[in-house]
Amino acid sequence: MSPNDFKTGQDAKHWAEDPRVRDEHRERERERERGDTYKFVESIHFCCTIKFTMFRNQYDTDVTTWSPAGRLFQVEYAMEAVKQGSAAIGLRSKTHVVLACVNKANSELSSHQKKIFKVDDHIGVAIAGLTADGRVLSRYMRNECINYSYTYESPLPVGRLVVQLADKAQVCTQRSWKRPYGVGLLVGGLDESGAHLYYNCPSGNYFEYQAFAIGSRSQAAKTYLERKFESFVDSSRENLIKDALFALRETLQGEKLTSSICTISIVGVGEAFHTLDQETVQGLINEFEVVGEEPPADEAAPPEQGAGTEAALAPAAPAAAAADEGAPADQGVAPMDI
């Protein structure tokens, strides 16, 4: 096969015979056989395999190059960055949205970075991934809110801000001289159509959720939220915070939940977006008895989907939640019953 054949892309047979490409295909076949649904966001697994088989990925050097399988690796890597960040979760009722995150210091000597930002009185974001990118995007969102209320003297609808944000992220996936933002944002807010929670992804995709979790070990929190989300719609403000704390604990995998390692923020009807102070949070943790528990000895860490990196991140941390991909939620070894 000559390089020219590839460029013109006239004949699919030619590039399909390329061993590296063939390998990709085989890998996908194997995934299907395993019964895994192929997920865009969890492709790191896949990339690692390619590296392990000693093939350099030739489609990942810039954002604008497609892989023959129809993927943009740079964008996917950016989405991996979101998983590296410490967890952030969000959940909403009809009237309130709660954002919560785990604060992890970079070193023993440093303080942690701020992960929840107020955008306006009616909107806030929790981020996971590159905090620096998160700050830039929060500043953009603040500006948009200020500009909108300058023109209309009313708050910018949450969904519209999220679309603007997603469009901004999308541009970075289509310009050779740019890089995608390496941050995932949970955008919570209130407008005339109610309370909203969105997840914004580096790819420019966005989704609306009842509850969601992002960042490292967020799968455990997601499992908790999946089990309980149906009750969130009519949840009270206090119960929402309670569920936020419990979901947050899931991501800690045995570490004790204290107010010093988490931030809780809330926005809702009659309540401008604000972050609860540490004493309040500790009070709630005590009140709800969200104790961190020692992991049972017999419980092994079940691999998450795409656990390659997650495990590498915390090789020694045993998982608190066994309920994972494939396992029915209620059957999972739930760390606590409420």
Partner 1 sequence: MNFADSASAMKNLLGSEGDSQRTLYPYVTGTSVVAIKYKDGILIAADMGGSYGSTLRYKTVERLKPVGKHSVIGASGEISDFQEIMRYLDELILYDNMWDDGNSLGPKEVHNYLTRVMYNRRNKFNPLWNSLVLGGVKNGQKYLGTVSMIGVQYEDSHVATGFGNHLARPILRDEWHENLTYEEGVKLLEKCMRVLLYRDRSAVNKLQIAKITEEGFTISQPYSLKTFWDFAAFKNPTVGAEGSW
Partner 2 sequence: MTKQQANWSPYDNNGGTCVAIAGSDYCVIASDTRMSTGYSILTRDYSKIIQLADKSVMASSGFQADVRALQKVLSARHLLYQHQHNKQMSCPAMAQLLSNTLYYKRFFPYYSFNVLGGLDHEGKGCVYTYDAVGSYERVGYSSQGSGSTLITPFLDNQLKSPSPLLLPAKDAVTPLSETEAIDLVRTCFVSATERDIYTGDKLEIVVLNASGIRREYMELRKD
Residues within the interface to partner 1 (CB under 8 A): 150-154, 157, 159-160, 191-194
**Residue 103, both tokens:** 């604060």
Residue from 14, 45, 112, 142 binding partner 2 (CB under 8 A): 142
Name the nearest CA neighbour of 243 among 279, 288, 275. Answer: 288
Tell which phi-psi region holds residue 240, choosing left (phi > 0), alpha (psi between -120 and 50) or beta: alpha
Q: Which residue reads 């865009």 in tokens?
A: 40
Residue from 52, 150, 152, 177 binding partner 2 (CB under 8 A): 150
Name the nearest CA neighbour of 100 among 288, 234, 230, 305. Answer: 288
- Is the CB of residue 183 less than 8 Å from the CB of residue 256? no
- Is the CB of residue 236 less than 8 Å from the CB of residue 93? yes
The residues in 299-328 that bind partner 2, with binding defined as CB under 8 A, are: none
- Selection from partner 1, partner 2, none that 154 binds (CB < 5 to 8 A by kind) is partner 1
Binding map of partner 2 across residues 62-101, x = CB under 8 A, - = no contact? ----------------------------------------
Q: How far is the CB of 233 from partner 2 (least distance, A)?
A: 31
Q: How far is the CB of 107 from partner 2 (least distance, A)?
A: 24
Contact call for residue 146 and partner 2 (CB under 8 A) = yes
- Alpha carbon separation from 328 to 28, 157, 231, 244 (Å, rounded): 25, 37, 18, 21
The residues in 95-134 that bind partner 2, with binding defined as CB under 8 A, are: 118
- Selection from partner 2, partner 1, none that 1 binds (CB < 5 to 8 A by kind) is none
Q: How far is the CB of 222 from partner 2 (least distance, A)?
A: 31
Question: Could you please report the per-residue DSSP string of 314-327?
Answer: STTPPPS----TTS
Contact call for residue 272 and partner 2 (CB under 8 A) = no
Q: Give the binding site for partner 2 (CB under 8 A).
A: 118, 142, 146, 150
